[in-house]
Amino acid sequence: MFDYSLVHWISFFTVSLLLHLSPGPDMVFIIGQTIKGGRAKGFSAMGGIWMGAACHAVVAAFGLSAVLMTSATAFLVLKWVGAVYLVWLGVQAVRSKGSSFLQIDTLSPTSVSNNWSIFQQGLMVSLLNPKVAIFFMAFLPQFVVPGAGPTSAQLLLHGFLVVLIAGVVEPPIIVLADRIAGRFRESLKFGLWLDRCLGCMLIGLGVKLATSER
């Protein structure tokens, strides 16, 4: 079971790494939260995104994502819910006064609560993106090998490996973004500018999602 060639794994890991490096709502959200609140918030955002991706992997493994590929109504509903959510997050950032970028005690109850809220937001950003679901459904079957095990098990294995590969790409980006932003985080003016930029990017991604096709 799960008997794959070296070429299989090289192809899979190479493509997965390249896909993780491509920009999208997930990466924008993770970097934005890191710049705003430091590593703790960046890793909280990453954890939420990972959880959402893992859910998509499970759904794809058992064929439920096919509904989004065959049902225009299901795709349309999820697409608009996701787009509205991204735009809402963007508007919240644009309307902020930049104070969210000021350094706070990472062990305070308020900070822990904020980290949990960011985790939930990351989860929703991932879950409400129908393109993530369709990606798993379209990408994973290409690496199913006849005779290597049950199809659902192979899909599940590769789906979770896609999530784990993010662990190679995203943590270093979070650390780098935190170091770059750390020098400016005490500046309210800089925080205000960054909040506006993050908000505009999230709104833009929401609009892009709303106008996307299956």
Listed in sequence order, the residues at least 6 apart from 110 whose beta carbon sits closer than 8 Å to its beta carbon are: 104
Q: How many of the other CB atoms lie within 10 Å of CB of 109? A: 8
CA distance 4 to 161: 14
Vertex 212 angle, CA 124 and 204, to 5°: 65
Q: Is the pLDDT of residue 63 over 60?
A: yes
pLDDT in tens, 93-124: 777 765 544 444 444 455 566 888 999 999 99
Q: Is the pLDDT of residue 168 over 80?
A: yes
So what's the pLDDT on residue 65? 64
Burial of residue 142 (number of CB atoms within 10 Å: 0-12, 13-18, 19+):
exposed
Q: Is the pLDDT of residue 16 over 60?
A: yes
172 contacts 66 by C-beta, under 8 angstroms: no
Q: How many of the other CB atoms lie within 10 Å of CB of 195? A: 23
Give the model's confidence band at 42: pLDDT under 50 very low, under 70 low, under 90 confident, else very high: very high
More confident residue, 36 or 47: 47
